[in-house]
Structure 1
């Protein structure tokens, strides 16, 4: 019934669906590469600089504050670590009531990146489940209908590919995601 259909609206909707499908396919391909052990080029990375840059790129929706104790160096894939930090920030912004706090520091021979929002938090029973593929909690679906449920699974796979961990720790308010990666030896970066 061409008289009852707006072609521009139909094309817009088709492009939106196509974009969503493309994002899902790209996420699945990323997970396949990570889980298949395909090595990405690794280099010395100043995690403080990387997180500062990503935090600045995300300061539009929610107030994002950044804290650091200085330069924190790791050995890894820049593009993968950007993806990981971006996923955590996007997730935190989506669930924050008023703001997000990002902290980069070193502790016990590890680089530690903490992303905390001041939202409702994540129930202890769901803290491992949200890292499963295609998992979206009800509250997340209400806030954003466009997610794939793959971002946190990919983030954890990136952490594991860098011999690190990604988990959720207790917080007095909101959700606190904590990434831990091995520190790069200062001699390896010429300091």
Structure 2
């Protein structure tokens, strides 16, 4: 039995054998406490089914930022899962203070470079690093999307990849990232992996 499935007739989700309505736009909402029990492949398949049901290319899944008993349509974690018509993605927005000596393109390239070792180690790839212009100065924001392998993984494992990427982005923005701190993060993830 799949850990997650979408029911087209009722526009409902079944997560761990429990029916639920979606978020504000009907999207799948997962609770933090169930991430380690939910199959990433099942989420991908459910997102594909909902996208097809509404003749859309894309669909997303959100993660509640509060425990299940307190959830009522938000708030959500910044990390979200997406089906883009080709692959399962994990996405987040990185916000930083605008650097004095660089433009958006330079920062996007630097963020991509700093993430590469982490992504290689996790078997993921960079899909995009795009400026998000809905933030105003002094903040500079980037929407970062990572292509992840879903086979044999739980959603918690995929969220861990995004969390590690967010840590690296924050260290880069704070000026605290070094080769050693990046290597420690990657080695820590390698030890934690089965």
Fold-level similarity (TM above 0.5): no
Larger radius of gyration: 1
Q: Which has the higher helix share?
A: 1
Q: What is the TM-score of this pair, normalised by structure 1? A: 0.30
Q: What is the TM-score of this pair, normalised by structure 2? A: 0.29
